[in-house]
């Protein structure tokens, strides 16, 4: 059974990458360590900024990425993310005399998505490991007003990012990253995400 959401009068199916990424992730996590195919895992938490759409004041950003090591410093996997674009506010006024009753939220927008991800590490810089990253996947944009959905739209898109990592144990590392997102849909258009990262290998 497919997964879809309302877009105008038609149902739009989420791309097959969502199902494939989920199945691949679960299979890899369930694989025994001796099989040599167990992925690392990266969790990221931060915020969004430089949004080209409206609202544009930004908000939180979360991501979880299972990554499989490849040769020559490359790693490949999937990323599942949630990014908040922020909210629009207006003034609530008394309909009788126009008295300002305070601020009220006019609308809020957030993005949920999944994408394929490819990373490339470079030589270490002191105790830090710089890397670059790219993704290609699906963005599900939702507009709501105080919790009630006002509209939804789907878009493919890509991101380009860079970051640094520093090992804190043999298998754990911490770091920071920044990522530029470009949706092939003008509802959001483009935005930037920043994050503090934790990874396990």
**Among the listed residues 193, 161, 183, the one whose alpha carbon sits nearest the alpha carbon of residue 82:** 193
R_g (Cα) of the chain, nearest Å: 20
Give the residue extent of every domain in the chain: 17-29+40-200
Q: What is the pLDDT along the chain (201 residues), one digit of tens a residue?
A: 333 333 332 233 444 545 555 555 555 555 554 445 567 899 999 999 999 988 888 899 999 999 998 877 899 999 999 999 988 755 556 677 767 666 555 678 889 999 999 999 987 777 899 999 999 999 999 987 766 777 788 899 999 999 999 999 988 999 999 999 999 987 788 999 999 999 988
DSSP letter for each residue of 14-71: PPHHHHHHHHHHHHHHHS-GGGS-PPEEEEEEEEEE--SSSS-S--EEEEEEEEEE-S
Fold of the 17-29+40-200 domain: Porin (2.40.160)
Please tell me the predicted confidence (pLDDT) of residue 95.
74
Torsion of CA 168, 173, 178, 183, to 10 degrees: -170
Per the listing, tokens 């709501």 go with 144
């Amino acid at each position: 059974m497919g997964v879809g959401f309302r877009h105008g009068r038609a149902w739009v199916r989420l791309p097959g990458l969502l199902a494939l990424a989920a199945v691949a992730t679960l299979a890899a996590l369930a694989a025994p360590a001796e099989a040599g195919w167990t992925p690392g895992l990266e969790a990221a938490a931060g915020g969004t900024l430089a949004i080209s759409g409206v609202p544009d004041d930004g908000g939180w950003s979360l991501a979880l990425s299972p990554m499989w090591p490849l040769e020559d410093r490359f790693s490949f996997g999937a990323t599942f993310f949630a990014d908040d674009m922020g909210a629009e506010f207006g003034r609530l006024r008394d309909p009788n005399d126009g008295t300002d009753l305070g601020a009220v939220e006019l609308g809020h927008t957030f993005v949920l998505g999944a994408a394929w991800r490819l990373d490339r590490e470079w030589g270490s810089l002191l105790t830090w490991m710089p890397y670059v990253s790219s993704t290609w996947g699906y963005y599900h944009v939702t507009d709501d007003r105080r919790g009630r959905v006002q509209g939804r739209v789907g878009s493919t898109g890509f991101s380009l990012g860079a970051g640094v990592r520093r090992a804190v144990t043999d298998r754990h590392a911490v770091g920071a990253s920044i990522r530029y997102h470009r949706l092939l849909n003008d509802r959001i258009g483009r935005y930037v995400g920043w994050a503090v990262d934790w990874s396990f290998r």
